[in-house]
Amino acid sequence: MQTDSSFTFVLFGGTGDLSMRKILPALFEAHRAGGMLADSGKIVAVARHANNRGEYIQWVNEFVKPHVSKNGVDEAAWASFLERIEFINIDLSQAEDFVQLRDVLKDLPGIRVFYLATGPSLFVPICRALASVGLNENARIVLEKPLGYDLKSSNAINDAVGEIFTEEQIYRIDHYLGKEPVQNLLALRFGNALFEPLWRREWVESIQITIAEELGVEARGDFYDNTGALRDMVQNHLLQLLSIVAMEPPHSMDSDSVRDEKLRVLRALKPIDPRDIGKVAVRGQYHSGVIRGTAVPAYATEPGVKPDSATETFVALKVEIENWRWAGVPFFLRTGKRLADRVAEIVVNFRAVPHSALGASALRAGANRLVIRLQPNETIRLYCLAKQPGEGMNLASVHLDLAFDQFFREGQMEAYQRLLLDVINGRLALFVRRDEQEAAWRWVEPILNEWKASNKPPKPYASGTWGPAASSAMLAQHGTCWLEEEN
């Protein structure tokens, strides 16, 4: 991903948690690698928690530096990275302050990228203020999630931003799409004749997609209590991963070809009848428990959370896709906080052989499955059956690993690093198009509405477990179970 593209990267929310943990470390890694960022490229941080550039650089050294380079910081590279950074203190709610930003940017080079690492309530005011001083022209705008609370509010934000920036200028970021194993999933499917004939209803029994966290809501209680797991994780991350897994082969990897195929999947999701939501959707809320030997509190006692909150911290869904390739194949989605492990993975369960000529041990050993793990370690593992050494035909499950660190000596690129380089270089394929987002909201909204109307509380589950028992029972009805194994 070498580039000569000159750029000015304007980071709104320059002292926020996202900037500290993800954005600035990702830009440093691209800088350190050499050749990924044009030498003339500049970073302009916009924030109110520093008065001048000196104070901001001090903040970067204190809070950002610990998050970069797992193998230590190259001090020379770090010093030259800091030289890229400019700073401006303006009030984002005051449009007239953006004249000062315009004056700072007028002599800086290249394409302008505006990254809105702020709360969504500031998206529209910032965009309007940029337009008021002419900074929207020939620029790119990056919008973080959550983009709205429901379809109506999402459309309101998109309408307002769309009046100022064209769709080709808007980069709606979902960092899961930048993860290396997701990219490898595309390579696995569309670069190999081995898997494509099997990637369909005749050979696939079910597919699971899990994003599990050990952490609770931490300091985000106020935000999370008004959001919940369905809005926070399912509407974006999980449905985006599902669309990647289930999409038809695009004719090329250009941005619209890929996103057109993802959209077809989202539009083919079988609508959920409100009367059936109890059968295909499980919501839960964590209670107190123990994680890795440490006692953790219940969700309702977390700071910023209402004591009688009915917000879900766990969701499990059975999803069906009404098209020729996937008709009748259940997709099981699961996400939650305070679960037994931190893991994100896609599990493709293949059908068993139609007749076991090798005896009962083949049935006990199970069928083939493909596990694409996104975190904490990024691997692709194919499970097959093999004969155990010794007398008799006794089969056991073995696996083939795609070990990235052994095949590719260079380090893997973090998701934000890839996505930020794509913004700078004008590549839209890994960003969410507006019609994708609308299709996802349309499918999710009936679940949200039914949960709100029913007034039923979420099912409780102890922290440190895999969620409510109803989640496992839902899969048991289809003769399968969640894959839960050690890292």
pLDDT, one tens digit per residue, over 21-51 is 999 999 999 999 878 999 999 999 999 888 8
Are the C-beta atoms of residues 141 and 166 closer than 8 Å to each other?
A: no
**Domains defined for the chain, CATH in brackets:** 7-144 (3.40.50.720), 177-414+434-476 (3.30.360.10)
Strand partners, 286: 461
The neighbour count for residue 369, using CB atoms within 10 Å, is 21
- For 48, 84, 88, 127, 203, the CA distances from 103, given in Å and listed in that order, are 18, 18, 11, 17, 60
For the segment 258-282, what is each residue's pLDDT rounded down to a tens digit? 999 999 999 999 999 888 999 999 9
- For 91, 172, 257, 270, the CA distances from 236, given in Å and listed in that order, are 30, 11, 20, 17
Catalytically annotated residue among 175, 237, 251, 355: 237
Q: What's the pTM?
A: 0.91
Mean model confidence pLDDT for the chain: 90
Give counts: helices (H), strands (E), the chain: 18, 17
**Burial category of 218 from C-beta neighbours within 10 Å (exposed 0-12, middle 13-18, buried 19 and up):** exposed
DSSP 8-state symbol, 102: H
Phi, psi for 473 (deg, rounded to 5): -65, -35
Amino acid making up residue 465:
T
Q: Report how far residue 425's alpha carbon sits from residue 111's, in angstroms, rounded to the nearest whole number.
A: 9
Residue with tokens 């440190």: 464
For the segment 120-163, what is each residue's pLDDT rounded down to a tens digit? 889 999 999 999 999 999 999 999 887 888 999 999 999 999 99
Among 426, 418, 343, 414, which Cα is nearest to 6's? Answer: 426
Pairwise pLDDT comparison (70 vs 430), residue with the higher score: 430
pLDDT for 182 equals: 85
For the segment 177-211, what is each residue's pLDDT rounded down to a tens digit? 998 888 888 888 888 888 888 999 999 999 999 99
Q: Report how far residue 408's alpha carbon sits from residue 411's, in angstroms, rounded to the nearest whole number.
A: 8
Are the C-beta atoms of residues 417 and 408 closer than 8 Å to each other?
A: no
Span 349-354, mean pLDDT?
87
Q: Report how far residue 11's alpha carbon sits from residue 164's, in angstroms, rounded to the nearest whole number.
A: 18
Plot region of 218 (φ>0 → left; ψ -120 to 50 → alpha; else → beta): left
Q: Report how far residue 61's alpha carbon sits from residue 72's, in angstroms, rounded to the nearest whole number.
A: 14
Which H or E run contains 296?
Answer: strand 294-296
- CA atoms 159, 164, 168, 170: torsion sign: negative
Strand partners, 276: none
For the segment 402-452, what is each residue's pLDDT rounded down to a tens digit? 766 677 766 678 899 999 999 999 999 999 999 999 999 999 999 999 999
Amino acid making up residue 349:
N
Q: Report how far residue 267's alpha carbon sits from residue 440's, in angstroms, rounded to the nearest whole number.
A: 8
Among 296, 334, 145, 284, which Cα is nearest to 214's? Answer: 296
Peptide bond into 120 cis (omega under 30): no
pLDDT > 90: percent of the chain? 68
Are the C-beta atoms of residues 339 and 467 closer than 8 Å to each other?
A: yes
Are the C-beta atoms of residues 463 and 254 closer than 8 Å to each other?
A: no
pLDDT for 109 equals: 82
Among 8, 78, 1, which Cα is nearest to 40's? Answer: 8
Helix axes 24-33, 75-82, angle to 10 degrees: 120
Q: Token digits for 113?
A: 């990228």
pLDDT for 299 equals: 96
Are the C-beta atoms of residues 257 and 251 closer than 8 Å to each other?
A: yes
pLDDT for 404 equals: 67
Among 216, 293, 233, 207, which Cα is nearest to 461's? Answer: 216
Q: Report how far residue 23's alpha carbon sits from residue 146's, in angstroms, rounded to the nearest whole number.
A: 17
Give 80's contacts (C-beta < 8 A, 6+ positions apart). 31
pLDDT for 1 equals: 47
Strand partners, 208: 332, 347
- For 153, 273, 454, the CA distances from 310, given in Å and listed in that order, are 22, 22, 11
- For 6, 7, 88, 208, the CA distances from 107, given in Å and listed in that order, are 13, 12, 15, 51
| 237 classed as catalytic | yes
Is it the case that residue 3 has pLDDT exceeding 60?
Answer: no
Is it the case that residue 455 has pLDDT exceeding 90?
Answer: no
Helix axes 24-33, 415-424, angle to 10 degrees: 80
